[in-house]
Chain A
Amino acid sequence: MTLDTVKHAEQTPEVEQPWKELGLKEDEYARVREILGRRPTGAELAMYSVMWSEHCSYKSSKVHLRQFGEKAPRSDAMLVGIGENAGVVDVGEGYAVTFKVESHNHPSYVEPYQGAATGVGGIVRDIIAMGARPVAVVDPLRMGAADHPDTKRVLPGVVAGIGGYGNSLGLPNIGGELVFDACYQGNPLVNAGAVGVMRHEDIHLAKASGAGNKVILYGARTGGDGIGGASILASETFDATKPSKRPAVQVGDPFQEKLLIECTLEAFAEKLVVGIQDLGAAGLSCATSELASNGSGGMRVELDDVPLRDSTLSPEEILMSESQERMCAVVEPDKVERFLAICEKWDVIATVIGEVTDGDRLEIFWHGEMIVDVDPRTVAHEGPVYERPYARPSWQDTLQADDAGRLPRPEGGDELREQVIEVLGSPNLASKAWVTDQYDRFVQGNTVLAQPEDSGMIRVSEESGLGVAIATDGNGRYAKLDPYTGAQLALAEAYRNVAAGGARPLAVSDCLNFGSPEDPDVMWQFVEAVRGLADGCQVLGTPVTGGNVSLYNQTGEAAIHPTPVVAVLGVIDDVARRTPIAFADEGHLLYLLGETREEFGGSAWSQVVHDHLGGLPPAVDLERERLLGEILISASRDGMVDAAHDLSDGGLIAAVTESCLRGGHGARLVVPDGLSAFTFLLSESAGRAIVAVPRSEELRFTDMCGARGLPATRIGVVDGEALEVQGEFTIPLDELRDIHESAIPGLLG
């Protein structure tokens, strides 16, 4: 077979090329030919096809994601915004924090352990690529029905994979979610987030500049992993009946990645790195074209120099390989030796594979012949952009009209007690300890808060106590009822969780999990959710710094619930001031902050007791969220509250239960005037939290709420060995604990 060189391509314009198999559309292929003024070589075709896939080019979502930039609130904290591997925010004292959430949904369904493990690996490399030391991971998960047999296959594998990889890297897992819903049966969502810390001056970007600078590939050898994966994986509906379409499964090597972290940080510390990029989806195609197009010059790469695990790989395959645990650095010539020495110290294979050139072309050679000659911008940034048609689904009105407020409610204390127990023991509200006990939350010795707290919190400075907090949230049921509001509720909840711990929310990352963008209904959900999130961030003053879009999460015609997962990052001046959720002391007074309305659309109660999804989700008032946040932060800073817990799914009763169990104390609750016990306990109105106030602080605290106009209702006291709702029912703490803790182990056995 003759090598398909650039020269050869020029001479043989008529050659049939497998653009379709590689996932390109006819007009996209034509566009490639137009850009090049000839047909692409096989290697060029490989590059364009992966880089122009949905996964890499965001072709369906791009036009909408722009709002995150356009509507971004002014924020002095923002150091690096959308577009880089991850956003970076200033947290004070010269420290900067980078964080991001990504999806690894399809691979985790095919091979739960490895899919989830490599998901963690990928997001952590994004963090290192910014110049930061990774300090924590989080894992928002959505699984099929808890009692479905396939959930028993997927969930334990996913959890073991996330733990197996993250634990081996020495990254504390400080948060996440686990939600079960039948809509995720064939499309579980495995999102993974990571947080990294650096000094301002250590921020690095993915760009190759300075002619003559060397391009160094380091980390694992390149094998045949996931070849074509990027395009096939993300651009077509996963169809279990056609196993040949399954992407090759990649096996993660966390040990290699740990070495990669340490050697990269050492190279940063010695200021050896001009630009850096991790290798993720689209492997070398992505790294070389992005580095080159973001820099000032061009790049020349000798593909023969790439260390291979499988010597039979073709140049196209090398360019498309998605082998894990690799990075690409741009290094000045006189620093190359030192860079390689550091890699050697850490037993990391490192090879100079090319250099930055004066020109503006990306040129790739194989056996001395040029096989790629492209303008890197056309590969990395000028992919197709779709304005996909979208329309409010015809069924949306019917769904919203099916008001959950009309569902039969419990009559009397006994029935209310039964239903409360049913809700508390449902898999979505039960303790997630079965999962989180498989994750190391202590490593690095800086964990201040971790599961089951509202947010995870990490100390950044041992000297000052400066810390950061992160929480992720997203409720697909709310978003199904109204994607605009649903996205804002996800944002509001994560924001509230961060504030409840005492940290000031600063910035947002997101992972937008949706069905097929080719379905106008789904596209509408996506458009609405993005608009909701962008508008919400504007009001809350928390810019979106980056994120990830995962489309085609559907099985046949059935899409998952629209599931925008939102991560909010916050900062706290002194972690000694953090507020935990535990009711730790008897006699503390319980206050409910915010207003409770009759809001049951999409609620846990409507799902668990009535298997119902309809009506409208709870209303959002972001100004109110902001005020609530300010109160929670002030109360934490000034030591006015001893515990705080946000209210979300399951309503007040779920939050009180968690705080009681965590603290080992019961509580006596009184139903406030004007509310039914049912609404008081189970409504899911947003913008609420409960706090435990020491008696000595009561006046100061209520004065503050009064002065700022935040409704604060005294609803009870921390007391005894049971949870008592006066005049309604009592549940002993032991029984409550049993309900809470045995549900998930019972399901997974």
Chain B
Amino acid sequence: MTARIGVVTFPGTLDDRDSQRAVRVAGAEAVPLWHRDKDLKQVDAVVLPGGFSYGDYLRAGAISRFSPVMESVIEQARAGMPVLGICNGFQVLTEAHLLPGAMLRNTALHFVCRDQRLRVESTATDWTADFTPGQEISVPLKNIDGRYTADERTLDELEAEGRVAFRYASGGPARDGYGNPNGSQRDIAGITNAAGNVVGLMPHPEHAVEPLIGTGRTDGLGLFTSVLKKLVSA
């Protein structure tokens, strides 16, 4: 028996099938979850994928956060189940207050799609254990509301507790994917909750799991293998 990882579809979710593929490539079973069902189908972990749920019309993630499935996800996340929010999923997690902070419009005010360099800051989460601290990876980034914001106290707390999971890497030219693409505070690309089971990030690891496709790199696979290892060994 391998681990069962649920992937939620909200109306307007786009990367659900991609996330399912990433789960399968990592060797787990992908279980589709529907926003209207509270039933999590006994999955061991949940991915909230990217997209524009409800068109992102009010605020990214604001409407989905109130869906029935999220009631269960919030409850299980508090009980320790691994939950990964990618892009829109990250936005949903902040709207649901499972992760602190909020997302604002990119400073350039338009959609940004690029191959992004990230530094893995914390490997002490359910979704990053397979990386090495400080490791640089490259995964696609694509969003318009990706500017991570929180008040100074929250940011200091995140830093102090080692809860910044991913940072936009500096140290190279923009055309090679370096630099802060959206004005996120302290170059934050992804964070975790205190327990390390809930992780959210704006870039898209599920788009970097197969050679040839997308950027041709498989740097994103580590998130999925990390959680799989934890679940299988548990």
Give the interface of A toward B (CB within 8 A).
Answer: 160, 163-164, 167-170, 253-256, 258-259, 346-347, 436-448, 459, 462, 575-576, 578, 737, 741
Judge whether B54 is part of the interface by a CB distance below 8 angstroms.
yes
Per the bound structure, the CA–CA distance linking A538 and B11 in Å amounts to: 45
Judge whether B82 is part of the interface by a CB distance below 8 angstroms.
no
CB pair B52–A254 under 8 Å, yes or no, is yes
CB pair A442–B214 under 8 Å, yes or no, is yes
Judge whether B1 is part of the interface by a CB distance below 8 angstroms.
no
Task: Kindly specify which of B89-97, B110-118, B146-154 makes contact with the partner chain.
Answer: B110-118
CB pair B206–A445 under 8 Å, yes or no, is yes
In whole Å, how far is B202's beta carbon from the nearest beta carbon of chain A?
A: 13
CB pair A443–B57 under 8 Å, yes or no, is no
CB pair B142–A167 under 8 Å, yes or no, is yes
CB pair A440–B214 under 8 Å, yes or no, is no
In whole Å, how far is A257's beta carbon from the nearest beta carbon of chain B?
A: 10
Per the bound structure, the CA–CA distance linking A167 and B55 in Å amounts to: 11
Per the bound structure, the CA–CA distance linking A741 and B11 in Å amounts to: 38
Are A575 and B212 CB-contacts (below 8 A) given A168-B52, A437-B113? yes
Are A253 and B113 CB-contacts (below 8 A) given A170-B14, A442-B142, A443-B14? no
Per the bound structure, the CA–CA distance linking A168 and B18 in Å amounts to: 15
CB pair A442–B57 under 8 Å, yes or no, is no
CB pair B51–A160 under 8 Å, yes or no, is no
Q: 22 interchain pairs (CB within 8 A)?
A: A160-B110, A163-B110, A167-B52, A168-B55, A170-B14, A254-B52, A254-B55, A255-B11, A255-B54, A258-B12, A438-B113, A439-B111, A440-B113, A442-B140, A445-B17, A445-B18, A445-B21, A445-B210, A446-B213, A447-B214, A448-B212, A737-B175
CB pair B51–A170 under 8 Å, yes or no, is yes
Are A255 and B57 CB-contacts (below 8 A) given A168-B52, A170-B14, A445-B21? yes
Interface 1/0s, chain B 50-62, versus A by CB < 8 A?
0110111100000
CB neighbours (8 Å) of A448 from chain B are: 212-213
Per the bound structure, the CA–CA distance linking A219 and B58 in Å amounts to: 21
Per the bound structure, the CA–CA distance linking A198 and B14 in Å amounts to: 19
Interface 1/0s, chain B 171-210, versus A by CB < 8 A?
0000100000000000000000000000000001011011
CB pair A170–B15 under 8 Å, yes or no, is yes
Interface 1/0s, chain B 1-33, versus A by CB < 8 A?
000000000011011011001100000000000
Per the bound structure, the CA–CA distance linking A477 and B43 in Å amounts to: 60
Pick from B18, B55, B210, B215: contact of A444, CB below 8 A: B18
Per the bound structure, the CA–CA distance linking A169 and B55 in Å amounts to: 9
CB pair A442–B113 under 8 Å, yes or no, is yes
Per the bound structure, the CA–CA distance linking A406 and B52 in Å amounts to: 56
Per the bound structure, the CA–CA distance linking A441 and B114 in Å amounts to: 9
CB neighbours (8 Å) of A160 from chain B are: 110-111
Per the bound structure, the CA–CA distance linking A259 and B53 in Å amounts to: 10
Pick from A164, A253, A446, A575: contact of B111, CB below 8 A: A164
CB pair B11–A347 under 8 Å, yes or no, is yes
Per the bound structure, the CA–CA distance linking A437 and B114 in Å amounts to: 6
Per the bound structure, the CA–CA distance linking A169 and B56 in Å amounts to: 12
CB neighbours (8 Å) of A347 from chain B are: 11
CB pair A447–B213 under 8 Å, yes or no, is yes
Give the interface of B toward A (CB within 8 A).
Answer: 11-12, 14-15, 17-18, 21-22, 51-52, 54-57, 110-114, 140, 142, 144, 175, 204, 206-207, 209-210, 212-215
Residue on B with the closest CB to A169? B14
| Main SS class of interface, A | mixed
CB neighbours (8 Å) of B142 from chain A are: 167, 440, 442-443
Are A438 and B52 CB-contacts (below 8 A) given A445-B21, A448-B212? no
CB pair B207–A442 under 8 Å, yes or no, is yes
CB neighbours (8 Å) of A442 from chain B are: 113, 140, 142, 204, 207, 214-215
In whole Å, how far is A427's beta carbon from the nearest beta carbon of chain B?
A: 19
Residue on B with the closest CB to A439? B113
Residue on B with the closest CB to A580? B216
Per the bound structure, the CA–CA distance linking A439 and B18 in Å amounts to: 18
CB neighbours (8 Å) of A254 from chain B are: 52, 55
CB neighbours (8 Å) of A462 from chain B are: 21
Residue on B with the closest CB to A255? B55
Pick from B55, B114, B207, B213: contact of A253, CB below 8 A: B55
CB neighbours (8 Å) of A444 from chain B are: 14, 17-18
Q: Which 3 A-B pairs have the closest CB atoms?
A: A255-B55, A170-B14, A445-B18
Per the bound structure, the CA–CA distance linking A253 and B144 in Å amounts to: 17
Residue on A with the closest CB to B173? A737
In whole Å, how far is B213's beta carbon from the nearest beta carbon of chain A?
A: 6
CB neighbours (8 Å) of A438 from chain B are: 110-113
Per the bound structure, the CA–CA distance linking A43 and B92 in Å amounts to: 47
The residue in A254, A438, A448, A575 that gathers the most chain B C-beta atoms within 10 A of its C-beta is A438
Pick from A255, A575, A741: contact of B52, CB below 8 A: A255
Per the bound structure, the CA–CA distance linking A443 and B18 in Å amounts to: 8
CB neighbours (8 Å) of A447 from chain B are: 213-214
CB neighbours (8 Å) of B14 from chain A are: 168-170, 258, 443-444
CB neighbours (8 Å) of A256 from chain B are: 55
Pick from B52, B110, B112, B213: contact of A445, CB below 8 A: B213
Are A445 and B55 CB-contacts (below 8 A) given A170-B14, A437-B113? no
In whole Å, how far is A725's beta carbon from the nearest beta carbon of chain B?
A: 24
In whole Å, how far is B214's beta carbon from the nearest beta carbon of chain A?
A: 5
Residue on B with the closest CB to A262? B11
CB neighbours (8 Å) of A170 from chain B are: 14-15, 51
Pick from B18, B112, B206: contact of A437, CB below 8 A: B112
CB neighbours (8 Å) of A168 from chain B are: 12, 14, 52, 55-56
CB neighbours (8 Å) of A253 from chain B are: 55
Known: A443-B142, A443-B207, A444-B17. 19 other contacts (CB 8 A): A160-B111, A167-B111, A168-B52, A170-B51, A258-B11, A258-B12, A259-B11, A437-B112, A439-B113, A440-B111, A442-B113, A442-B140, A442-B214, A442-B215, A445-B22, A445-B206, A445-B213, A447-B214, A448-B213
In whole Å, how far is A462's beta carbon from the nearest beta carbon of chain B?
A: 8
Pick from B12, B112, B114, B175: contact of A741, CB below 8 A: B175
Per the bound structure, the CA–CA distance linking A164 and B206 in Å amounts to: 22
The residue in A437, A442, A446 that gathers the most chain B C-beta atoms within 10 A of its C-beta is A442
Per the bound structure, the CA–CA distance linking A170 and B15 in Å amounts to: 8
Per the bound structure, the CA–CA distance linking A261 and B209 in Å amounts to: 26
Residue on A with the closest CB to B176? A664
CB neighbours (8 Å) of A578 from chain B are: 212
Per the bound structure, the CA–CA distance linking A575 and B51 in Å amounts to: 26
Per the bound structure, the CA–CA distance linking A443 and B17 in Å amounts to: 10
CB neighbours (8 Å) of B144 from chain A are: 167
Per the bound structure, the CA–CA distance linking A706 and B185 in Å amounts to: 60
Per the bound structure, the CA–CA distance linking A443 and B213 in Å amounts to: 11
CB pair A445–B214 under 8 Å, yes or no, is yes
Per the bound structure, the CA–CA distance linking A254 and B56 in Å amounts to: 11
Per the bound structure, the CA–CA distance linking A346 and B17 in Å amounts to: 17
In whole Å, how far is A120's beta carbon from the nearest beta carbon of chain B?
A: 14
CB neighbours (8 Å) of B22 from chain A are: 445
Residue on B with the closest CB to A168? B52
